[in-house]
Amino acid sequence: SIDKAKGMIENRNYLKAISLLKKGKIQKEAFFLLGRAYQGLKNDFHAIFYYKKASQNGIITPNSAKYLSKVYLEWEMYEKSMEFYKKYISLSKVKDRSGILNAKILLKKNKYRNAIKTMKEYLKNNSNDIKARQFELKLLYKAGYKNSLKRKIKYFYRNFKKDADALAFIGNLYMLMAKEFKYKPKLKKEEMPAFFLKEAEKYLKSAYRKNKSNVRALKGLGEYYYRNGKYKKAEWYFKKRLAQNPDQINYLFDYARILLKRKKFDKTKIIFEKIKSKNVFFKEIKLFEAIFHLKKKDEKEALESLINFYNTDANLYSKYLRTPDLGPEMGAIQQLYWRHFKRRDKYDTAVYL
């Protein structure tokens, strides 16, 4: 059963693998495989539980150690994160980037100056580390250091302009800047969303010309055209990205979003069913099923999906209310919520208004 489960995991049949591994008494190696399966389903809580069990039984790999470090960082368990990162370094024999992890921890604590200082120290001896340079740009953006960010983007471009991934990274960073834009008085032209989107298009198209299979460029261009209301073009890029990895859940979800926007209901339903068959823990699917049923004028089904989604993760529901690209759809969803519950949750109302 262990070998059979391994094959299932390699083929991304995570749910079948979990069902098989949980039959009878769980063996030592099964703990590790269950961790891998839950990691594939992006269920961090269960993945961590089984990876820890495997580690206690002496089974740990570079991949599981790296994953544990990443999740513990997200959970703000910084000592654990560093502990497993060091295990990852010793197991994989790769370059020690603990300086970047220290900067990430400081960023999570909102200690921007200390994080920037830590990155400067790391980059003194690692100036050509592309991952470090990418994180430096993210850090400067989060810290709001606009002038430093402009200068560093130019530096990053000069040094890595032959790399399609690097160009796509800059393009997607500009997309993020446009998405998270907050109006302030007396802004310069180069601080407005229209400028960010223009820059995003330039870098993403350049990345695509260098490598037409680059998934970061394909995603970025899909999002760019989606945001600009050119849904046919957005669908083309999301479909091409999905072709690179037809079983990747996020690729399937992005493709389903654009199909739903274009009211291709039959195709959307097929993709939704495929996502659910691969990952029962993918929360957003219920919200988009609610939108799907509303577009088809099926209010009863829409309400059922909405209640299911809201009860699963109310915070995620509130986050989607703030998503500009879903303005009309979330407006309809919110009206459905108010109409049937005849009350307004204070937090959600504040967010919506």
Per-residue pLDDT tens digits for 95-151 = 888 999 999 999 999 999 999 999 999 999 999 999 999 999 999 999 988 889 999
Distance (Å, rounded) from C-alpha 40 to C-alpha 42?
A: 5
What average pLDDT does the segment 23-27 reach?
76
At 336, list the tokens.
């459905």
pTM for the full predicted model: 0.82
Q: What is the DSSP letter of 190?
A: G
Per-residue pLDDT tens digits for 194-247 = 889 999 999 999 999 999 999 999 999 999 999 898 999 999 999 999 999 888
Distance (Å, rounded) from C-alpha 323 to C-alpha 336?
A: 18
Per-residue pLDDT tens digits for 286-338 = 888 999 998 888 888 888 888 888 888 778 888 787 776 677 788 888 888 88
Q: Using the structure block, give the residue that is written with the tokens 């809580």.
A: 45
**Contact between residue 130 and residue 166 where contact means Cβ atoms under 8 Å apart:** yes
Q: Which long-range contacts (CB under 8 A, 24 or more apart) does 23-27 make?
A: 27/2
The pLDDT mean for the chain works out to 87
Distance (Å, rounded) from C-alpha 166 to C-alpha 134?
A: 8
**Contact between residue 238 and residue 258 where contact means Cβ atoms under 8 Å apart:** yes
**Contact between residue 280 and residue 272 where contact means Cβ atoms under 8 Å apart:** no
What average pLDDT does the segment 188-192 reach?
68
At 350, list the tokens.
């504040």
How far apart are the two ends of the chain, measured CA to CA in Å? 54
Distance (Å, rounded) from C-alpha 28 to C-alpha 7?
A: 18
What average pLDDT does the segment 158-172 reach?
95
Distance (Å, rounded) from C-alpha 43 to C-alpha 252?
A: 18
At 17, list the tokens.
């693998």
Most confident of 12-16, 140-144, 191-195: 140-144
Question: Is the model's pLDDT at 168 over the cut of 80?
Answer: yes
Distance (Å, rounded) from C-alpha 323 to C-alpha 330?
A: 8
pLDDT given for residue 343 in this prediction: 52
Polymer length of the chain: 353
Distance (Å, rounded) from C-alpha 163 to C-alpha 198?
A: 20
- Find the angle CA(107)-CA(108)-CA(113) to the nearest 5 degrees: 25
Per-residue pLDDT tens digits for 66-91 = 999 999 999 999 999 999 999 999 99
Give, in order, the Cα–Cα distances in Å from 343 to each of 203, 292, 322, 334, 336: 46, 24, 20, 11, 11
